[in-house]
Amino acid sequence: MGLDTSFDCWHGPYSAFMRWREALHAIIARRRGFATDSLDDAWSHGHYDDQTDPLNVLMNHSDCDGEIPAAVCGPMADALTGLLDDMPERAMYDYVRPATLRFIAGLREAAKANAPVEFR
């Protein structure tokens, strides 16, 4: 059992999805100057509250249900693409970069179809 999404964005354990978002958080926190180490801390400090930011939508999303609205898919793909330069090919990012590329590809397909990415 695990997280499956439409458009092949993600298929795998919930725990892997959370680790992926924690790795993204480390990049986002550096870029935005957050003084929090963990994603849990960032949530408690409201760093991802602004839901007009597509990365915040992803960081706050449930890991087991719901959807990413079609209107957010293109902007989220663009925002994730903007993080790729901070994912060097080394141990910490050995799964993060490929997972991000897969998520981006799925988001682009969803945007093209004008459909949401469904989490199930």
pLDDT score of 3? 93
Q: What are residue 11's DSSP bridge partners? A: 4
% the chain with pLDDT above 90: 71
The CA distance from 105 to 33, in Å, is 28
Position 17, amino acid: F
Helix-strand-coil split of the chain, %, nearest 5: 60, 10, 30
The CA distance from 87 to 109, in Å, is 23
How many other C-beta atoms can be found within 10 angstroms of the C-beta atom of residue 34? 16
Decide which of 88 and 59 is more confident: 59
Checking if the pLDDT of 88 tops 90, the result is no
pLDDT score of 35? 78
Q: Which two tokens stand for residue 103?
A: 């998520």
